[in-house]
Amino acid sequence: MLEPALRSVLDQTYQNLEIVFVDNNSDDGSLERAREIAARSARRIQITRCEEQGANRARNHGYELARGDYVQWLDADDWLGRDKIERQVALLEEDGRCCIAYCDWLSRRHVGKARPIETLFPLADVDDQIERILAQIWYPLHAYLIRRDAAERLQQERGWWPDRRVGTDVEYSALAALLGQSFRHVKGALVGYNTWSKTQISGADTPYTLRAASFRDIYRRLKELTKRPDVAPRITAQHRLLLNQDWNVWSLPRDSVDLTRGKGRKITVRNRATGRTANLRPREAEFIEAMIRAGPELAIAHLALVIAARPPYHPYRSDELVQIVETLENLRRCGILTMVTALEPAFGGDGPKA
């Protein structure tokens, strides 16, 4: 997918581009293919090699060479719409207060030789980007165009923590939001995100427990950041709920609980094995029923996404996800949920301390 990714950059309607191509020790001919494409292009492409393995190390290496007024990240298997950068530069030039422009995105899921399954995710301006990101409502990394001074601040904060392998884009964008960098949606701009192999970092070859442990470490780092006097005033009770959530793996096995509806609006859930009970509001009972039907074994944040994806909750809303996380956390503390896995330390470590 390298050639379509690189061509989507070369074909941008915005002309004043600085292109830095980082090879991270590829052994599949990617570097040679990039050189062939560069040789035939009227645009200048600076090709460099990052000897240290890892996506974040490659990103940091490329940033050291970049000199542009704006920063666009792009992985080698995704693509940009032709006028994506032009539209976002126009907004950033018009609105000097905006730090990060973002756009709609198209998911392409490749299964064998069949035509890719496409899903469009139209976005909009969001009042609370901290809540949106901490609630795990995800935007692809390359949907953003970042003003240079904002990108520089993130580099100083080590936004691309070198040893982090999973959740890197969540960590980067969460840091931006916590630092008070403003985001705006740009209508008409589009990027594409390809899901094509279980060997991708978020794919099946990376055990879920390692992915969850990496998010746990990211949230610990973000929680430390909120203690700083320049960050603390932005933090709400909803943000703290999301930052403090448990990242072990939990489930609600079928036939493990009873839901009893009493008079009026009273609903009680009871764990059959332990006898522990909790009182629920009607909406909370709906969450439990959705979780029983879905039956996944996931961390609280990802259980919330599974529940929210079921009717009538989809498309995702961060305030709804906060409510679901709060309900699940209460059930966990009451002994209603069943722990499946206690997480081991993840790769990448917590990151720098505040």
Chain segment 284-299, per-residue pLDDT in tens = 998 888 888 888 999 9
The mean pLDDT of 100-122, rounded to a whole number, is 91
- Residue 67: predicted pLDDT: 95
Tell me: pLDDT of 340 over 60: yes
Q: How many CB atoms lie within 10 A of CB 265?
A: 10
The mean pLDDT of 164-192, rounded to a whole number, is 97
The pTM is what?
0.93
Amino acid of residue 87: R
Tell me: pLDDT of 149 over 80: yes
Q: How many CB atoms lie within 10 A of CB 27?
A: 6
Tell me: pLDDT of 222 over 90: yes
Contact call for residues 231 and 203 (beta carbons, < 8 A): no
Under the banding of pLDDT at 50, 70 and 90, the label for residue 203 is low
Please state, in angstroms and rounded to a whole number, the distance separating the CA atoms of residues 210 and 214: 6
- Residue 264: predicted pLDDT: 74
- Residue 353: predicted pLDDT: 58
- 68 backbone dihedrals φ, ψ, rounded to 5°: -70, 165
Q: Which of 64, 71, 79 is nearest to 9 (CA)?
A: 79
Contact call for residues 159 and 118 (beta carbons, < 8 A): no
Please state, in angstroms and rounded to a whole number, the distance separating the CA atoms of residues 348 and 146: 25
Tell me: pLDDT of 69 over 90: yes
Tell me: pLDDT of 348 over 80: no
- Residue 141: predicted pLDDT: 95
- Alpha helix (H) ranges present in the chain? 2-10, 30-39, 55-65, 84-94, 129-134, 148-156, 168-178, 208-225, 237-243, 282-294, 300-308, 318-333
- Residue 309: predicted pLDDT: 87
- The DSSP call for residue 244 is T
- Residue 209: predicted pLDDT: 94
Close Cβ partners of 335 (under 8 Å, ≥ 6 residues apart):
271, 274, 276
Under the banding of pLDDT at 50, 70 and 90, the label for residue 113 is confident
Close Cβ partners of 289 (under 8 Å, ≥ 6 residues apart):
259
3-class DSSP state for residue 93?
helix
Task: Scan for tokens 């422009």, then name that residue.
Answer: 101
**Mean pLDDT, the chain, integer:** 92
